[in-house]
Amino acid sequence: MHARELRQLLGRVLAAMVFVHSIWWFADADQWVLSALKVPMEILIPAAIDEVFRVTWTAERVGGWELLTTVLINGNANASILVNQFVLAKSVFWIPSAFALTLATVPRSISRLVLCLVVALVLAGVLILVCSAAQLAIFLDPHPGIWSELNARPPGMELSVGPLPEWQFFLLSLGLYFTLNVAMLALPVVLWVLICWREISAALERWE
């Protein structure tokens, strides 16, 4: 790849990033994406997490999705857990970067642009599912360590379900950490490489 070709590619990437992120921000697209994910997540979260029997949207006015669980508080009321808006936003925040990289590389390939969006939505759903399970694990654990700020469990509260095994708590915590701190940088590049590998490999061959 010649220096001129590299400059052209970087210019296309920068222009695509500015264009896509501007539209994403002005259209408040993260809320549109989360709204599109509501129906599948309303089915998937209770199906994947035994302790959750329903997802409701009534808590959105205070910033999040509410998970109604079979866990009893002090032997009476069912516990509800809030998957807060910050976690939900982080689960989809990386999508415009992935789309912009793909747009800059294959701007005329509608099929691959659509594929990028579909795969991104699936991955965002997976991240939300992992974060939901992680917040349940944090709620059940009386000593969640670095996640204590996400634990809304008052002192002295007795629950009908005990903490998850340490290995499950560790894996779910890792998934939550990935979503909050790594996904926005790693997933756009991974998705871009998978979808545009032919163009990327050709560019690397020219570089050699």
Asked if residue 168 belongs to a domain, the reply is yes
Which residues have a Cβ under 8 Å from the Cβ of 22 and sit 6 or more positions away? none
- Answer yes or no: is 75 within a domain: no
d(CA 55, CA 115): 28
- Three-state DSSP at 80 gives strand
Q: Is residue 68 part of a domain?
A: no
Number of structural domains found in the chain? 1
The radius of gyration of the chain from alpha carbons, rounded to an integer in Å, stands at 20
Q: Which two tokens stand for residue 73?
A: 């508080």
Q: Does a structural domain hold residue 172?
A: yes
Q: Model confidence over 112-126: pLDDT tens digits?
A: 999 999 999 999 999
77-84 and 52-56 beta bridge pairing: unpaired
The backbone torsions φ and ψ at residue 87, rounded to the nearest 5 degrees and listed phi first, read -65, -45
How does residue 81 score in pLDDT terms, banded at 50, 70 and 90?
confident
pLDDT value at residue 3: 65
Write down the mean pLDDT value for the chain. 85
Please give the residue range of the domain that contains residue 29: 3-48+87-207
Query: Residue 199: what pLDDT?
Result: 85
Cβ(184)–Cβ(90) under 8 Å? yes
In a domain, 71, yes or no: no
Are the C-beta atoms of 130 and 175 separated by less than 8 Å? yes
Q: Does residue 93 sit within a domain?
A: yes
Q: Encoding tokens for residue 58?
A: 């009534």
Domain annotation covers residue 11: yes
Is residue 62 in a domain? no
pTM of the predicted model over 0.85: yes
